[in-house]
Amino acid sequence: MLEIRNLHVELEEGGKPILKGLDLTVEAGRVHAIMGPNGSGKSTLSYVLAGREGYVVTQGSARLDGEDILAMEPEERAAAGLFLAFQYPVEIPGVGNMTFLRTALNAQRKARGEEEISSGDFLRLVREKARALNIDAEMLKRPINVGFSGGEKKRNEILQMAVLEPRMCILDETDSGLDVDAMRLVADGVNALRDAGRAFLVITHYQRLLDHIVPDVVHIMADGRIVRSGGPDLALEVETNGYAGILGAGAAA
Ligand code: ADP
Ligand code: MG
Ligand code: MG
């Protein structure tokens, strides 16, 4: 589903190389985790895939179902089925959550040549998804993210994911750290949305999220590349030996 080949990315300002020949293949129906020390380029990878400005791809490719996503506008990427959780972490005063969600859904439909969803159908859809994920529909009436707790923001992101039904979901947990409840919430949401036609890339610095979202494949990223891949046990190895231990072992092997 997602195929990244020899991806090289540098910062637009200053030209510092961040990704240095990254290879990654994520198959449909699977959950891949990327772990790695701080500063290894994990967030940069998710930003580049989502089309955030400020990064220059100097070499390599990223394809979603064979289509060159790096050549697409961010909205086209979303229409192609790519979703970056936490891509809308901003507070948008005055824009209701429902309005935002409906606008996003309709933009996606339009890009796919589909008709806009009616307000009745949209309401039904959101209520159904919210119910399935145990999300309080009251939250939906509030301006997006304004005054949301960390847990509510996560809940909202999971709901966005459920409504937009992306096929390739990228979650960057960043290094800010989720509390246990927020982590559970994200994990339950992801697990509920696991599906044979959908793939996840879960980016996390810490092993603990992977206690709840058990990945099929774990990759270790260091200095802009994937340096080791393995099964879920690899995450436990990180927990036991730290990145220094893992990367040392990788170099020796
Ligand atoms: P990770 O998510 O693995 O912690 P990042 O992708 O956030 O890593 O960062 C990789 C490297 O790129 C770090 O050295 C970071 O300081 C640098 N970097 C990323 N984005 C920027 C930016 N916009 N300006 C300056 N440095 C950046
Ligand atoms: Mg970091
Ligand atoms: Mg990061």
Structural domain for 240, as ranges: 2-252
Q: Where are the beta strands (DSSP E) in 166-224?
A: 168-172, 199-203, 217-222
Residue 68's beta-bridge partner residues?
Answer: 63
**CB 165: neighbour CB atoms within 10 A?**
17
Q: For the whole model, what pTM was predicted?
A: 0.89
Distance 190 CA to ligand 1 centre (A): 26
Q: Which atom of ligand 1 is nearest to the CA of 172?
A: 2
The number of distinct structural domains making up the chain is 1
Strands across the sheet with 67-68, in order? Answer: 17-26, 2-11, 55-64, 67-68
| pLDDT by 10-residue block (mean), the chain, 253 residues | 98 97 97 94 94 95 96 87 69 71 87 90 91 79 71 81 91 72 84 94 87 94 96 92 79 42
Q: What is the structure's pLDDT at 19?
A: 98
Choosing from 13, 18, 20 the residue with most ligand 1 atoms within 8 A of its CB, the one to mutate for a pocket test is 18
The rounded distance, in Å, linking the Cα atoms of 210 and 101 is: 28
Are β-strands 55-64 and 67-68 bridged in parallel, bridged antiparallel, or unpaired? antiparallel
Per-residue confidence (pLDDT) for residue 92, from 0 to 100: 62
| Cβ-based neighbours of 234, under 8 Å, separated by 6 or more | 35, 218, 220, 228, 246
Element (H, E) at 241: helix 233-252
In this structure, are residues 235 and 210 in contact, taking their beta carbons and an 8 Å threshold?
yes
Least Cα distance to 59 among 50, 67, 70 occurs for: 70
Amino acid 253: pLDDT: 39
**DSSP annotation string for 92-113:** EEEEEHHHHHHHHHHHHHHHTT
Best residue among 44, 175, 243 to mutate for probing ligand 1, ranked by most atoms within 8 Å of CB: 44
Give which of 11, 24, 17, 15 is closest to 200, Cα–Cα.
24
- Note the pLDDT of residue 248: 77
Ligand 1 centre from 35 Cα, in Å?
A: 15
Q: What CATH number is associated with residue 150?
A: 3.40.50.300
